[in-house]
Amino acid sequence: METTVASTRHAPIPAPRDVLQLLKPITWFPPMWAFMCGAVSSGAGLEGRWWFVAGGVLLAGPLVCGTSQAVNDWFDRHVDAINEPDRPIPSGRIAGRWGLYIALIGTLISAAVALALGELVFVAALVGLALAWGYSMPPFRFKTSGWTGPLVVGLTYEGLSWFTGATVMLGALPSSEVLVVLVLYSLGAHGIMTLNDFKAVEGDRATGLKSLPVVMGVEGAAIVACAVMAAAQVVVVALLMGWGYSVSASVVGIALVAQFLAMPRLVSDPAKYAPWYNGVGVTLYVLGMLAAALGLGGYI
């Protein structure tokens, strides 16, 4: 115990490049995109709201999302030692308890920025941060379930970020139409999160994580992921048409058809083609999100 405490106490301050790698900037894009969709869906102008928008983008991406990555890597350091031993924590480049300290500091800064953006944003951020910790931290470990884990991430990355974008612009709750659409896209994002599990099947199985590829097999999980993503968009298209946003509905529908054409390749070899589908199918999915937001905001 003394050796462990001493090594932690004398662990060097991590290099900025290693901290940046821990926060995984590539993962910031989805919540920042969802934030933008939320801002657009509000239909509000940017006049007088520039600082709120800048703060919201910072909150959704580098702060809350970045913090969630630090939390995940800290509690998953043993899993990463199998799947990704070159990550900053298992490789020793972020030594001792610095991974935990970075996660705690990120949580506090995120809460402070959210409070400055308004009470509703503060509440949304607290929910997002709580889910981020619960996703990886015992005894909750939502990520151990292939159903609960992707749902939590989808609701946080897409739903809460969209909600934050709309709320920052309006200074109030968004319309019921916006709330329904953001929830649907959040549920559909469950499939996107499942795609990320194909690269870690070996490590997940060895450490007892019951991701859908582990429980259902890679082909079954790929089919479920595609079905979940498609079902959410079908409902979005139907609702947009019913609400009179025909142009927006048509764009989402076209993006969905293109996804249908790409799905068979994914299902044929999920482990091989999941990265490809992330670049093609998921891109079409998020472009549909923007089209829906433009319709709700009255732009198309």
pLDDT range class, residue 124, cuts 50, 70, 90: very high
- Is 8 within the bounds of a domain? no
Residues ≥6 apart with Cβ < 8 Å to 196: 274, 278
Backbone angles phi, psi at 210, to 5 degrees: -95, 65
> How many domains does the chain contain in total?
1
- Is 6 within the bounds of a domain? no
- Which of 5, 181, 21, 31 has the alpha carbon at shortest distance from 88? 21
- Is 5 within the bounds of a domain? no
- Is 215 within the bounds of a domain? yes
Is it the case that residue 6 has pLDDT exceeding 50? no
Q: Are 194 and 225 spatial neighbours (Cβ–Cβ below 8 Å)?
A: yes
- Is 3 within the bounds of a domain? no
Provide the domain limits for residue 235: 15-296
Q: Which residue type occupies 37?
A: C
Q: Say which DSSP state 141 is in.
A: -
Backbone angles phi, psi at 87, to 5 degrees: -60, 155
Residues ≥6 apart with Cβ < 8 Å to 220: 212
Q: Are 294 and 250 spatial neighbours (Cβ–Cβ below 8 Å)?
A: no
Most confident of 47-56, 102-111, 137-146, 202-211: 102-111
Q: How many residues does the chain have?
A: 300
Is it the case that residue 82 has pLDDT exceeding 90? no
Give alpha helix (H) positions in the chain.
2-9, 16-23, 29-42, 50-58, 66-75, 77-83, 98-117, 119-136, 148-154, 161-170, 176-195, 201-207, 212-216, 218-243, 246-268, 270-296
Residue 179, token pair as written in the block: 């709330």
Which pLDDT value is given to residue 207? 72
Is it the case that residue 51 has pLDDT exceeding 50? yes
Which pLDDT value is given to residue 3? 33
Could you report the per-residue pLDDT of 190-242, keeping only the tens digit for each?
999 999 888 778 777 877 779 999 999 999 999 999 999 999 999 999 999 99
Distance CA 85, CA 78 (A): 9
pTM (whole model) above 0.85: yes
- Is 231 within the bounds of a domain? yes
pLDDT range class, residue 131, cuts 50, 70, 90: very high
Helix (H), strand (E), coil (C) string for 166-231: HHHHHCCCCCHHHHHHHHHHHHHHHHHHHHCCHHHHHHHHHHCCECHHHHHCHHHHHHHHHHHHHH
Average pLDDT over every residue of 174-183: 98
Residue 2, token pair as written in the block: 């003394």
Which pLDDT value is given to residue 24? 96
Is it the case that residue 58 has pLDDT exceeding 70? yes
- Is 85 within the bounds of a domain? yes
- Is 2 within the bounds of a domain? no
Distance CA 194, CA 158 (A): 15
